[in-house]
Amino acid sequence: MASNTPPSKTDRILIIGAGVFGLSIALELATRGYQNLTVLDRYPPPVPDGSSVDISRIIRSDYADPVYSQMAREALSGWKSDYAAHYHHSGFVMLSETPSNPYISQVLQIARAQGRRPLDEYPNANGLKPTYPSIQADLHALKAYHNPDGGWADAASSIRHLAHRCRLAGVSFITGPRGTVISLRKSPATQRVVGVTVRTGEHLPAAHVILATGAWSNLLVDLAHTASASGQPVGFIQLNDAEAESLRRFPVMINLTSGIFCFPPTPGTNVLKVARHSYGFATRMGGDGDGDGGREEVVVSAPKRDESNAVSAFLPQDADDALRQGLRQLVPQFAHYPWSNRRLCWYTDTPEGDFVVDWHPGLEGLFVATGGAGHAFKFLPVLGRYTADCFENCAPDNIRRKWRLRVPVGDEKVKIGDGSRAGPPLRTLTAAEQSKL
């Protein structure tokens, strides 16, 4: 049953995962006086194949859900203050190829209900060009919704800064083989989680374990009824100084009909990034479904555990074609440029796009903080406060209900999301495709 009493601040707490969930809750718990916190991961942060790293992530407050809309507004204040060195206030544009879009309609309704400034609407998206003269594409066939109060963040540098703050606050880190968790350890008598088994050396005991492993979660404990991993395609193009300068006044843009989104080039490196927010690609990986290391192996969708998933530049051909088509629509002058890199970015999908932040109902001592669903990173400045409140059982009831760890009921449909996804349905990679990852 779920823990009802907050842990002692002297208890040893292991946090598996050095991404945005793991580091955020580690820093917040340290700030609240917890004295024995250790973060475990395969790599030091920023973890090269984590979903919280890479050169850029969208920062926006436009949500079709009042809770995330409010959280995003709070987070945006943090991006402009504590994380201002990592934030770029470029503006944010949503595009639609149809006269109306259900997700955008809900965004507009939420903004009105919260008394927020209405989005700028353009029936012809070429109307954006006076504000953003770097847009060279012909967007007359698209409808645009513009919020000047948004942009993007350098994900890797943000995570690096967050990890630095954790170390200054007294959080310990174990990375490499010694920080690679193979399975959870349970007391045979009580079924309580009492530590973890790691790839090298003796097991690590703990009074409490926080599972913040994102797309790798189902390799350690069975969450398949409420969280499932999918790979989303990302491509990078190297521009020169003059080419990057031509896009200096360019907003973050996402086409909510195709799922394709594009960023301004990254200052200093001139890298142009394009990606797709879609239903993605699944894999077939072996994992320990009940978390005790003794059960027969189960097959789940997940990235590789024992190798970096950022090394391979493979994308399925249909994903590559979709990114190219997106470039032709949004930045056609660079659509024919070669990729400097490309890869799959690993989401942790949930039924309605809600996070999963809760004490495990069947494994005492285990707290779960996962299910980023492709949008958790933007909440980095405030995510620790919200997740630590759940850890201490003092979060508001609406948050605890929204982020509860569901129990299986037998008819789960994980790949629904919050309505912001587009593109083809989830596809499991063929064995030949998976071998190239």
The 10 Å Cβ neighbour count of residue 167 is: 14
CA torsion through residues 350, 356, 361, 363, sign:
positive
Per CATH, domain 13-434 is 3.50.50.60: yes
The 10 Å Cβ neighbour count of residue 81 is: 10
Nearest to 119 by CA among 79, 67, 166, 60: 60
Query: Structure pTM?
Result: 0.95
pLDDT at 295: 45
What does DSSP say about strands 151-153 and 87-88: parallel, antiparallel, or unpaired? antiparallel
CA separation, residue 352 to residues 92, 100, 144, 396, 413 (Å): 23, 21, 25, 19, 10
pLDDT at 3: 53
**pLDDT tens digits, one per residue of 345-359:** 999 999 999 999 999
The 10 Å Cβ neighbour count of residue 404 is: 17
pLDDT at 1: 41
Give me the residue spans of the domains in the chain: 13-434
Q: Output the CA torsion 117→74→23→192 (10° steps).
A: -110
Q: Please give the backbone phi and psi of residue 62, each rounded to the nearest 5 degrees, phi first.
A: -90, 105
**pLDDT tens digits, one per residue of 303-347:** 999 999 999 999 999 999 999 999 999 999 999 999 999 999 999
Q: Please give the backbone phi and psi of residue 274, each rounded to the nearest 5 degrees, phi first.
A: -135, 145
SS3 category, 391: helix
C-alpha–C-alpha distance, residues 195 and 200, integer Å: 14
Q: Output the CA torsion 375→381→383→385 (10° steps).
A: -170
Residues in the chain where the model's pLDDT stays below 50 = 1, 289, 291, 293-295
